[in-house]
Amino acid sequence: MSKKDSQSNPLSTSLPPPSPTPPTKGTSQSTNMTDKEREIHLGFMREALAMAEYALAHSETPVGCIFVHNPSPSPSSPNPKPYIIGRGYNHTNLTFNGTRHAEFVAINQILTSCPPSSSQPYGSEVLKECDLYVTVEPCIMCASLLRQFGIRRVFFGASNEKFGGTGGVLNIQDSNGKYDSFPEERKKDGEEEGKGGMREGDYEVSGGWLREEAIVMLRRFYVQENERAPEEKRGKEGRVLRLDVEPLALENGSGKGG
Q: What is the pLDDT along the chain (258 residues), one digit of tens a residue?
A: 334 433 343 433 333 333 333 433 333 345 578 999 999 999 999 999 999 999 999 999 999 999 999 988 888 888 899 999 999 999 999 999 999 999 999 999 999 999 888 899 999 999 999 999 999 999 999 999 999 999 999 999 999 999 999 999 999 999 888 777 777 776 667 665 555 567 888 999 999 999 999 999 999 998 876 666 666 655 555 565 566 667 766 443 333 333
Strands 153-158 and 130-136: parallel
Q: Which amino acid is at 52?
A: A
Domain containing 103 — which CATH number?
A: 3.40.140.10
Domain assignment present for residue 15? The answer is no
103 is catalytic: yes
Q: Which of 53, 60, 103, 212 is the catalytic position?
A: 103
Reference 67, options 155, 141, 148, 5; nearest CA is: 155
Domain assignment present for residue 188? The answer is no
Q: What is the pTM of this model?
A: 0.78
Which residues on neighbouring strands pair with residue 68, listed in sequence order?
A: 84, 131
Torsion of CA 135, 47, 145, 22, to 10 degrees: -50
DSSP H or E run through 57: helix 35-57
Domain assignment present for residue 23? The answer is no
Rounded CA separation 62/224 (Å): 12
Domain assignment present for residue 121? The answer is yes
Domain assignment present for residue 41? The answer is yes
Domain assignment present for residue 45? The answer is yes
* Domains of the chain: total: 1
Rounded CA separation 250/232 (Å): 38
Domain that holds residue 108: 35-73+80-177+201-224
